[in-house]
Amino acid sequence: MTWRVIVGTISFVITMIMLGFVAVTEQDRMANFSVAYEARTVETGGALFESNCATCHGLDGAGVPAKGPALNTPELFNGARLTEANFAGTVDNFIRLTIAGGRPRMSEWARAQSFIDPMPTWGETYGGPMRNDQVDALTNYIMNWGLAYQGGAQPTAEPVVGVGTDITVELPPGDAASGEALATSQGCTACHVLSATGPAWLAASDPNDQGIGTRAALRLEQPDYQGAATTPEQYLFESIVAPNAYLVTDNPAYINAATGQSIMPATYGALLDPQMTSDLIAYLMTLK
């Protein structure tokens, strides 16, 4: 009986030593895995860039006159480009949203550079051909250029404190002009103005149709409305930060057939701060 106790004790001690060794080395192992995974995504992004982006931005990211701006440049990573685009997020988010949503409506900055064609939409979420993981890989590849510039890999903009999903919170006064610029920089117009991917914001040529500023009030009166909004402004707030609270079924394209949820990302409550949200709502309310 004694020998069984001794064997059991030894086995227990050996097991604890092995578990301790794994615990001590796990952090390094995961760090090495993360580095390897990041390297693979950069490699994948490089292949995607060469086949899809180099025509306009150049193989080395230096840009092509009249086609596309330089991406391998300190202006993209030191915040200057973000300021020009009136974008309040990080460089990483700016690149990712630009790739996914595109720039279908050419900005004043792009016109000043004499670019001919707008940036197309690439992300499948916005109707483009690339999966989300491909957009991420392409973003990582472009972000890798930022390592060549002092501080280039660090976002210069202050981190956004998201507005959240509580549509009853009091927002600051909104500015419609800032909201319009924000709608472009965040890629909203790619789906809601320049394509039929999302519910249209603008009134159609039909005189009986209304813009989203008018339709926001009408949505609240619909028998099937199950959201929490009580005012048009709250309805727009809800549509931005909680797109699945009420699904507009006018067009099946707005809904993911596999999940039954809206194709609109449900992350804007974290990406937009209260002022940005208020500005965007103020702009939408002008679209009668």
Inter-residue contact 182 to 280 (CB < 8 Å): yes
For 81-99, what is the HEC assignment? Answer: HHHHCCCCCCHHHHHHHHH
Compute the distance between CA of residue 282 and CA of residue 174 in angstroms, rounded to an integer: 5
| Second CATH level (architecture) for the domain 176-285 | Orthogonal Bundle (1.10)
The greatest distance separating any two alpha carbons of the chain, rounded to the nearest whole angstrom, comes to 94
Specify whether domain 39-148 bears CATH 1.10.760.10. yes
CB-CB neighbours of 31 under 10 Å:
10
Pair of tokens at residue 283: 């702009």
pLDDT of residue 171: 97
**pLDDT, tens digit, 9 for 90 and up, residues 180-199:** 888 876 667 767 876 677 78
**pLDDT, tens digit, 9 for 90 and up, residues 18-49:** 665 555 555 554 444 444 456 577 778 888 88
Convert 45-56 to b/e letters by CB count within 10 Å (16 or more is b).
bbebbeebbeeb
If we measure between CA atoms, which residue out of 153, 133, 136 comes closest to residue 144?
153
Inter-residue contact 95 to 139 (CB < 8 Å): yes
Side-chain half-sphere exposure of 283, counting CA atoms within 13 A: 21
pLDDT of residue 243: 92
Inter-residue contact 255 to 189 (CB < 8 Å): no
| Apex 53 CA angle, 51 and 54, nearest 5 | 80
If we measure between CA atoms, which residue out of 141, 139, 140, 123 comes closest to residue 131?
123
Inter-residue contact 219 to 212 (CB < 8 Å): no
CA distances 256 to 129, 194, 251, Å, are 16, 20, 11
The domains spanning 39-148 and 176-285 adopt the same CATH topology: yes
Q: Is the pTM value of this prediction over 0.85?
A: no
**Could you tell me how many residues make up the chain?**
288
Handedness of CA 232, 238, 243, 245 (dihedral sign): negative
pLDDT of residue 29: 47
Parse the chain into domains and list their residue ranges.
39-148, 176-285
pLDDT of residue 30: 47
pLDDT tens, per residue, the chain with 288 residues: 566 666 566 666 566 666 655 555 555 544 444 444 565 777 788 888 888 888 788 877 888 777 788 898 888 888 888 888 778 788 898 899 889 888 777 777 777 777 777 888 898 888 888 999 999 989 988 988 887 775 444 444 466 789 999 999 999 999 999 998 888 766 677 678 766 777 888 887 556 788 999 999 999 998 989 899 999 999 999 999 999 999 877 666 677 777 788 877 788 898 889 999 999 999 999 998
